[in-house]
Structure 1
Amino acid sequence: MLKQNDKNIVVSTLTGVLGSHLTLKGNELAFYCPFCNHHKPKLQVNTETQKWHCWTCNSGGKKLTSLLKKLDVDRKTISIIREIYGDSNYNPQLEDADTKVFISLPKEFISLSETPKGFNPEYKHAMHYLTQRGITEKDIIKYNIGYCKEGLYGQRVIIPSYNSDGSLNYFVSRSYYPDNKMKYKNPPISKNVICFDSQVNWNEPIILCEGVFDAITIKRNAIPLLGKFPSRTLVEKIFMSGITDIIISLDNDAINEALKAAEYFRKQGIHVKMMYLKDKDAADMGYEKFYEELKKTKEFSSEEL
């Protein structure tokens, strides 16, 4: 049985990433599920057994640390929780195998490929924003881009990502109103995924870029990193697929991370090209300008470090 102080740390950690909760019987807590975004607290967590389960989407696991990993909690916090439960025989493979996560789009999600009937200002604002960013109707259909009029992701466009099996593995939400201080509001889950995996031909060279709008602009075999460095899952897929050519196109503020990634892949025998975009990213440059710059790009060498 957990000591009260340890239990307080566990509950505080869970509340910090999942928000408010209901206290149930027998060390059970109920939270709002970050994977299916149900409007009621359906994610049940037992602070003694560590088991967690959502009664709506069936996401669950046998260790709290597996839940925290999916929520992208920092390693130090996860290590503290692991020590509290005395999980000294930690095995990440077994932990991942015991974990099931099923995420879903917000229940308020509306596809932008569907023209609404009657007056709908939110639809018009969403379409106007995407048009300004160079997103076409073909892109909207290809990536199943939508929007939410209300709810947690209200007044935002939603860009889903699907894995190679066609299952949702992540989504990005972006406000279409310029005065919104929080431009991006993404689900509180791990980014250890391959974004737009369903759109990638793993028999061809791939382009690594930073954001979803960059990848949509590039159009062919572009993978957004959702950050500045490839995820573990992406790196594993690159090696398993036998990729021989990679193009790295990150923003100017991520040049150090881009160089590290380029050198890492080069040492593994992969041909790497580095695109130095200076003041603009791919989404700002546009499709034609991007490929003009790509033609000028030479193979990366360690002398560039």
Structure 2
Amino acid sequence: MEVYMKKTLLLALVLLLVVSGMGLFAAGQTESAEGKMRVAVSLPPANNAWQARLLDTVLAETAKDTDEFEFTVKNAVDDADQYNMLQTFKDGGYDMIIVLPGNGTLMTPICEEIYDAGIKVMVLDRPIESSKYTVLLAGDNYGAGVNGAKYLGARLGGKGQIAVLRSYVGIPIDLERYNGFMNTLKKEYPGIKVLVEGDGEFNQEAGLKAMSNILPAYPKIDAVFCQDDETAIGALTAIESAKRTDIQFVTGMGGAKNAYDRMTAKDPRYGASMSYFPSMGGDGVRLAKEILRGATFKKDNLSPSYIVTSENVAQYMKEAY
């Protein structure tokens, strides 16, 4: 009887340890109750056509593989909202958080916190100021600036006076595009002078306002380099409203359909778009799935920038947004 009771107590102890161990293991998991891997996607305000199309591609991809993955997708209303959103996601038991920072500088601390907490971090499109992330999927913004300088410099014959419209001056994506442009001008086209800079904030309204403020103070401008197609369309609207014939052309970036339509119509005043496309949103979600399934991957992934003009716009039109 004593031996039997000892065996019974031992079995009960083993079962208790197993159950306790299972409880500890479950507490350390980030899968949902259904055993799905969980991914949160944090996006900035969809306040331009590029962001709106990117959201569409994200939603299309998150609707797939729902037997394996559970997705939460949210657009922030501003930078403070995105920061708070990411804080909530950090504490929400996710396997991976995908973030397209509205402002890469401001989102750097919270992205580092998420990474330090052991959660995979994918930075999409706009870089942060840290190496604390799992994977980056972005357009080649520095290369887009280089391409913009090469197109503008060649079309002006290496000489002229220009205006530059940046986008949220000082954030990482702005600096990459701006530095690519300015470094190339300095090296290859020293005869081109930048008269003035403004901030087009990635949208038509800001581009219109910035260009409208510049025009009265500068009676002779040969061209305008814009770091976004929506900004460039706004700038061109201001130029046309002011009937400024001295400005030969504007350039943009991104791949907006209204810019492509101008080039399709052979409008000489819309010179070129240094384009990479919002399909990277869906690409990012697909890559996240593969990483969580255990696939090997490269940490930094850059999509090339294409110089799209009236000569080749037809082949890129299906990617326009």
Please give the range of the TM-score, normalised by the shorter of the 2 chains. under 0.3
TM-score (norm 1): 0.25
User: Higher relative contact order at CA 8 Å, sep ≥6: structure 1 or structure 2?
Assistant: 2
- Determine which structure has more spread, i.e. the larger CA radius of gyration: 2
TM-score (norm 2): 0.24
Q: Which has the higher helix share?
A: 2
